């Protein structure tokens, strides 16, 4: 019956992923079957931690996050948890050798959101690493299946791709981050006076990350490559749409890619993969 419990816990993380992110769900569906469950399990973990700090404003978020951290470590130590998300996550940690440092860095970045509303250079880099780059590294651990040499070869590319995704999210969510949470992530940026020049500088930085991230995508194992490429193409599409908008528009609305265009990205990516022209 333990196998049934494991499956139920994994199903919870899969449901969380599908409900919270259509873009990542689309990518995960085309992974080789062996990669799907562990990636769902990672996403469920990071999504719920992020939910604590971003959504539960009428709750004791610092206490909830500390309890979540403590229960994460207990789950890993005991190899079991009655929290289905943490039980599913600890399985991935043990199976693929996800280091404690990556988990610590991620949870530290979540805690930063409870204490900081402006991020200057050092804090910004630390936050990007913990909130996004380490998530890319956790996924890379799965994709290379304990091949440490290949992990080291692709590590910087995975970090760059995670960084690009996160910075796009910051631009997309700039209005809600400021108005609902009082946050401005980009160093030196004043939300009220956000200019087109500042926006363009951020976009140039994102493009550098995208270019480095793409170099890693083409060298991923075959069973992971297409799924990551689809997520990359979706974010490229979002990046292009944001670039066409003015700084004023970014401050006024959440720019998104509609479901129809996401489907186009999905099918065109699959065709390019079949033709081996990523």
Q: 34-58 burial, b for 16+ CB within 10 Å, e for fewer?
A: ebbbbbbbbbbbbbbbbebbbeeee
Query: Torsions phi, psi of 38, nearest 5?
Result: -60, -35
Question: DSSP string of 27-51?
Answer: HHHTS-HHHHHHHHHHHHHHHHHHH
CATH superfamily ID and name for 2-274: Farnesyl Diphosphate Synthase (1.10.600.10)
pLDDT for res 21 = 81
List pLDDT tens digits, range 66-78: 999 999 999 999 9
List pLDDT tens digits, range 231-270: 899 999 999 999 999 999 999 999 887 767 666 665 666 6
Instruction: Give the separation between CA 77 and CA 95, rounded to whole angstroms.
Output: 13
pLDDT for res 172 = 93
- pLDDT beyond 80 at 31: yes
To the question of pTM greater than 0.85 for the whole model, the response is yes
Identify the CA nearest to 238 among candidates 171, 185, 177, 176. Answer: 171
**Least confident range of 25-29, 43-47, 57-61, 226-230:** 25-29
Residue 127 CA: distances (Å) to CA of 83, 109, 112, 118, 190: 26, 5, 8, 11, 18
Domain boundaries, the chain: 2-274
pLDDT for res 145 = 95
- Express as a percent the part of the chain with pLDDT over 70: 92
Element (H, E) at 252: helix 247-252
């Amino acid at each position: 019956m333990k196998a049934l419990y494991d499956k139920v816990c994994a199903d919870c993380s899969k449901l969380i992923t599908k409900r919270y992110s259509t873009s990542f769900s689309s990518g995960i569906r085309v992974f080789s079957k062996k990669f799907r469950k562990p990636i769902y399990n990672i996403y469920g973990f990071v999504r719920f931690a992020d939910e604590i700090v971003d959504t539960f404003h009428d709750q004791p978020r610092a206490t909830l996050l500390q309890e979540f951290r403590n229960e994460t470590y207990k789950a890993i130590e005991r190899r079991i948890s009655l929290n289905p998300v943490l039980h599913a996550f600890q399985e991935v940690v043990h199976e693929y050798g996800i280091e404690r440092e990556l988990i610590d860095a991620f949870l530290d970045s979540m805690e930063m959101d409870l204490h900081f509303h402006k991020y200057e250079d050092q804090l910004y880099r630390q936050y990007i690493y913990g909130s996004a780059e380490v998530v890319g590294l956790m996924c890379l651990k799965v994709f290379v299946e304990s091949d440490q040499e290949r992990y080291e070869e692709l590590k910087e590319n995975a970090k760059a791709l995670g960084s690009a995704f996160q910075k796009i999210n910051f631009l997309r969510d700039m209005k809600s981050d400021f108005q609902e949470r009082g946050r401005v992530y980009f160093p030196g940026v004043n939300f009220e006076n956000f200019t087109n020049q500042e926006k363009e500088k951020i976009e140039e930085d994102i493009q550098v990350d995208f270019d480095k991230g793409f170099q890693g995508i083409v060298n991923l194992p075959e069973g992971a490559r297409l799924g990551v490429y689809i997520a990359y193409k979706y974010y490229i599409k979002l990046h292009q749409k944001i670039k066409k908008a003015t700084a004023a528009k970014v401050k006024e609305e959440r720019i998104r890619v509609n479901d129809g265009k996401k489907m186009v990205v999905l099918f065109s990516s699959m065709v390019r993969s079949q033709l081996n022209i990523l």
